[in-house]
Structure 1
Amino acid sequence: MSLSSLFRTEGDRGQMTGSTTVDPGGAQHAVTVVDVAKQFGAVQALDRVSLTMEAGEFLAVLGPSGCGKTTLLRCLAGFERIDAGRIALGGRAVALPGIHLPPHRRHVTVVPQEGALFPHLSVADNVGFGLDGSGTGRRGARGARRAGRVEECLEMVGLAGMGARMPHELSGGQQQRVALARALAPRPPLVLLDEPFSALDASLRTELRADVRTALREAGATAILVTHDQGEALSMADRVAVMCDGRIRQVGTPEEVYARPEDAWVATFVGEADLVELPHGQGGPGSVATGLGPVLMTQGRADASHLVVRPEQVRLVPETSTDAPEWAVATTVRSVDFHGHDALVTLGLPDGGVARARTGATPPHPGERVLAWVEGSCRAVPSGDA
């Protein structure tokens, strides 16, 4: 099938029309991204990125600053043109090299980092703007439907009855809820959330994450969250796509990405992890000698070079305790990072190395001698440098 038969053009070649455009790959996923590339000068922001999403799914794109996650979001929204590859939404192609459906024809909504509400419009009119592109109410049956949808969305985000307020009368968290309600109001095929909690304090972020996740579920929305916060991604998403240097390193459920990382980079970025270098050729299952004593290794990839030890797998007891197994190692507590509900304890090992253990709210003190060992099995992974 030729490109000319896939698209009807209006004006220049960069505009696509109508809702009849089909995905040339024939896939009917809610979101399809195939080998998408985007370059800014000498910087390769996206390097052959591919992923798919089903309707109603919540995907978190997780990665450090500059990894390309926001560029991917902007390409999906239509704010950036792709250099290569293909993007389709609901089976309809919206981007190919040289052919670009503009943002307003994609029916995708974006929740930015800071709500970006219209300060001169009420909460209700801000939400209604997502329905009819204006900040004014409507009369008659259409106006009643509009008002009903606005109130429904406000109730969905926990702001029922607050439609008459102005943005400056709301807290930061409430403003983000209004921005989400505005995004959900037109029932878009895709909602894009660009680090929407980054400007909020820690306690408010935790509360708002849960409420946003509930609202998206109730709306049945397909959503992509862009974030650099591992806890945010793991706690909210159905699946997580981990990005680095313009590439997706791994896609999986939060449990898969955390427990079965593809490589050492993913393991250390998604949560804390200590890496134990493996003897050359020892990538299969079995016991491995480490500074924390013998560790049971699960089967990893054939090119595995490191063992991933999570701090919560490291057990500690006082050096005088009789509760430790015979293979426990005597170590010294170097430092303690106390977080209230738990603590991250850094240990000095007899071989000169260090390891970390996660304890409860009453950790040992720096300088204290403790017995340490690894409980459970650990995954063998390649370095991830390639």
Structure 2
Amino acid sequence: MSRASRPGFVPRPHAIAALACALVAGLPLAARAQATQASQAEQTLPQVTTSAGKVAPGSLRDSVTTGTKTDTPLRDIPAAITVIPDSVLREQGAVDMNYALQNSAGVQPLLAGGYGFANNYTIRGLGMRFLRDGYLDGPTQNGYYRTMYDVDRIEVLKGPGSALYGSGQPGGTVNVVTKAPLSKFGAEIGAFGGSFGTWGTYVDVGGPVSSQLSTRLIADVEKSDGYRGLSRDIKEVSPSLSWAYDNNKTLTLDYDHRDIRIKPDNYGIVFNAQGNIAAAPRDSRYYSPFNDTRQTIDRVTLSHDWQFDPALSMRTAFIYDERGLNMTRNAGGNGGNAANQMTGRAVRTQVDDSQFSLVQNELVWKTRTGPVDHTVLFGLEYADTRIDTVRTGYNLPNP
């Protein structure tokens, strides 16, 4: 039996004192050792350098003009905005606006997308309107079939924007941003083909003429026999140039010519009296054989950007848009009745001659109050719309 386990054993005082002194003396030594090791580790850590990469189109750091008319990052805009960049349109093979806007939730075609010859949509169930490079692109009714050849990105603003664009549709705004003139030479030629005799080809070429003048030319041709004979024949040419005639002044000229011929259809799939899809061959055609639309569009945009200093800039623009529409299409009609007849059919001929003029001047001032940044936008706009329309209607027999 050891001494510690024997009854009545009491440790000696000097042993306890020696043990306590050893413990107390050992603690500072360990702390000092750890501090020394941490100090050495801090001194030997390598320097870390961070840098921001390229801003991805449509990301939260991307700057959009729709919703503010300024270069505000998307993350700082208190509105629902969707950005559809050119890279997405190319990857999906989007050839028209119907394909492109499938990337934005809440956007739906209206009246079968404008009877097939005009883009027409609702946003969140309400009417919308189109902008082109931030400027009004004609009326929402009887628009035109928009292709993607000259489109750089599409910005969709969901909700009203009357504070920026004046009286308009409550659903929102679709801003089509076009490709800018090239400061470095570039050329691209493409073609595609599909079913129902569909094919198209385009050329996109541009570059600097001088150190101050940049240019670009986009031309395309697209044709299709169409499903159930809904054909289209489109020819477009869009030249543009940008002249930086001073260090802080730039003049940009953009011209668009479009010749669009599309056979319209406002029936789509026909249902019978029981609400079921009518039993008919896939190649059946419910529109009148003489249906046709022919649109010509000539639009000129002249804009001037003046950067007074890093905090103050001004943009002045003038737009003239002239359009002609010659249309013959069905106007109304009901599905099959109990006798398997379509009733209430009619046909409409319409000729539109339209001119749109727009003058706009905007001033952007960036300032700072303590840690808070401010962007002030002041603008004036004058718009003039003139449309002459002649319509004639005829009743048709029940087929």
Q: Give the TM-score normalised by structure 1.
A: 0.22
Where is the helix percentage greater, Structure 1 or Structure 2?
1
Q: Which has the larger radius of gyration?
A: 2
Q: Give the TM-score normalised by structure 2.
A: 0.22
Where is the strand percentage greater, Structure 1 or Structure 2?
2
